[in-house]
Amino acid sequence: MRFSAIFFVRHMLVGRVVMANSSIFNLGDDRAYNEWREAKLAGYPQSLADLVVEINSPYELTADERTALLKVCAKANMVVFAVKNPDIIKDNPLPALLKQLGVEDVDCNLGAGESGLSKLSPGGSAYGPFANYIPYRQAEIGWHTDGYYNTNERQVLSLALYCHRSAHEGGDNQLLDHEIAYIKLRDENPEFIKTFMDQEVMTIPARMDGDKVARPDRTGPVFSVKNGFLHMRYTARTISISWKDSQKVVAAVDALTRIMNGTSPFIIRGRLENGLGLISNNILHTRGAFIDLEDGPKRELYRLRCFDRVATE
């Protein structure tokens, strides 16, 4: 059954949306931060339903549909689109949809192939050796942002998903706006932010292809500011990450883990059903394990990663 609480949210959000800038994330400028924080939290969505915008066709948005999608995403760094009649979808709608939202610089990673599109289904990787990687299995995936192993110059700033067919059981998501995570950490202890902005705080170990280095170590910050907007790179996978050896880092990681695993109303929970999709500025997210019937259709979820953000106009 499709998500039942679908409605148009063009006028749903309360409070002004403030365009981010570097001074907001400067620990020495509390005034700019507090003004931004107040506006950010005012009328913030509290459920998946609060994020949903209905659209007729992802290939040709109306002006009102585009405005609604951008408004919700500007507020929460994410928006859920609901295609009124999913039967009209004949091919993956994500490239056409994101282009209308100002997103075109596609990350054509190995798992996605030349098109940049990934099918997150068992065995769906375009690159055979990746078939056993977690996104292409039925396993649970912990908190992460996408592309955390990319170079600092080629960070994934936006992520989109579209559900063509949901799993028989499971596959639920948790979503957490990285700006909310930043607020929670800074309010508790600004030193956590300083620690996470250290350029050497987190290293993703090299990926090996046999005895050859397919991708070298990637070292960089958790939080950074790109074009005036906050960006986050993170994974909870202990085998895919190496933290700088410091008690301050331990304390910051513990605080973030506590926030992500808590019961905050800012953590959005739900599942993408057939015809639903997520557009985001690469927020923190999880995926629960899922089950497909052995003799039935398999889960089909499509993903597109890009190096530019969703437009803010």
**Cα–Cα distances in angstroms (integers) from residue 237 to residues 142, 214, 242, 250, in the given order:** 7, 19, 10, 15
Q: Is 248 helix (H, G, I), strand (E, B) or coil?
A: helix
Q: Minimum mean pLDDT among 64-73, 132-141, 158-167: which range?
A: 132-141
The residues pairing with 229 across neighbouring beta strands, listed in sequence order, are: 226
Whether residue 291 has pLDDT greater than 60:
yes
* Residue 166: pLDDT band with limits 50, 70, 90: confident
Q: Minimum mean pLDDT among 72-86, 125-139, 179-193, 252-266: which range?
A: 125-139
Whether residue 278 has pLDDT greater than 90:
yes
pLDDT above 70 as % of the chain? 81
* Residue 115: pLDDT band with limits 50, 70, 90: low
As a whole number of angstroms, the distance between CA 6 and CA 298 comes to 25
Mean pLDDT for 214-231 is: 92
Whether residue 1 has pLDDT greater than 80:
no
| CATH superfamily assigned to domain 22-306 | Clavaminate synthase-like (3.60.130.10)
**Paired sense of beta strands 52-55 and 78-83, if any:** parallel
Structure token digits, residue 160:
């989109």
* 158 in Cβ contact with 229 (< 8 Å): no
Q: What is the pLDDT of residue 264?
A: 92
Q: What is the pLDDT of residue 251?
A: 98
Q: What is the pLDDT of residue 32?
A: 94
As a whole number of angstroms, the distance between CA 222 and CA 194 comes to 10
Structure token digits, residue 288:
């629960």
* Residue 13: pLDDT band with limits 50, 70, 90: very low
Tell me the backbone φ, ψ of residue 176, rounded to 5 degrees: -140, 115
Q: Is 82 helix (H, G, I), strand (E, B) or coil?
A: strand
Q: Minimum mean pLDDT among 15-24, 255-264, 290-299: which range?
A: 15-24
Instruction: Kindly state the helix (H) or strand (E) to which residue 209 belongs, with its residue range.
Output: strand 207-209
* Residue 210: pLDDT band with limits 50, 70, 90: confident
* Residue spans of alpha helices (H) in the chain: 30-41, 63-76, 94-99, 178-188, 190-196, 247-260
Q: What is the pLDDT of residue 29?
A: 93
* Residue 129: pLDDT band with limits 50, 70, 90: low
Tell me the per-residue pLDDT of 50-109, one tens digit each, with 9 for 90 and over: 999 999 999 999 999 999 999 999 999 999 999 999 988 888 899 999 999 999 998 876
Whether residue 124 has pLDDT greater than 50:
no
Q: What is the pLDDT of residue 304?
A: 92
pLDDT above 90 as % of the chain? 61
CA atoms within 13 Å, Cβ hemisphere of 258: 9
Whether residue 30 has pLDDT greater than 50:
yes
Tell me the per-residue pLDDT of 227-264, one tens digit each, with 9 for 90 and over: 899 999 999 988 878 999 999 999 999 999 999 999 99
Tell me the backbone φ, ψ of residue 232, rounded to 5 degrees: -135, 140
Round the average pLDDT of the chain to a whole number and report it.
85
Whether residue 222 has pLDDT greater than 50:
yes
In which residue are the tokens 């986050």 written? 232
